[in-house]
Amino acid sequence: MLLCQAMKVIGVVGEIGSGKDEVLKYLRDRYGVPYLSTGDIVRKMAEREGVEGTRENLEAISRRCFQDMGKGCFVRMAGEEIIRQGWKVAGISGVRTPDDVELLRKTFGKDFILVRVDIADPLVRFDRLRKRNEERDPLTYEAFQAQDREEEETFNISKAVAMADCTVDNSGPLEGLHSEIDAMVASGCLPVK
């Protein structure tokens, strides 16, 4: 992928259930910023392969793709699609690994910003997962904790999170998250044009 500085890309990183997609959905709905989800890329692969979209199956596909196509393959695919689309500003949900961050910074240079979505209390994240009620989400808090550990082992999310340029807190109500995003846009921290 060639360095493409004419575009601004907002990457979002965070733990399971932190609200990564919610941040980008709000930017899309309020400011017209399109976004791609690396998770959607993996889910489409599973669908094409006729594999059920469970967390275990999706992680197995991710590991296989990392092995076959290299680390950062999903963000590379998303970045290539952003370039193909010619979007001036776009988001990528599902930035997970330090390799993902490095690849996006190499590709988009100073026009890549990484936003960490944070929820301090893991019980809040678990409760939100239970409410969204998707097939891939754990049913018990113990399974949720195990999934958190597995994601850390697979993706090294804590190191990617530490590379963030800014943090948005999603511990409270949705309106609070939206207000924080609006403030970041107003300050110029989050580019929307």
Q: Which of 12, 41, 15, 7 is nearest to 25 (CA)?
A: 12
CB atoms within 10 A of CB 95: 33
User: Is the CB of residue 78 less than 8 Å from the CB of residue 41?
Assistant: yes
Q: How far apart are CA 184 and CA 23, in angstroms?
A: 12
The predicted-structure confidence for 56-69, as pLDDT tens digits, reads as follows: 888 899 889 989 99
- The verdict on domain 8-187 having CATH code 3.50.50.60 is no
Average pLDDT value for residue range 53-82: 89
Residue owning tokens 């580019």? 191
Where exactly are the structural domains of the chain? 8-187
State if pTM tops 0.75.
yes
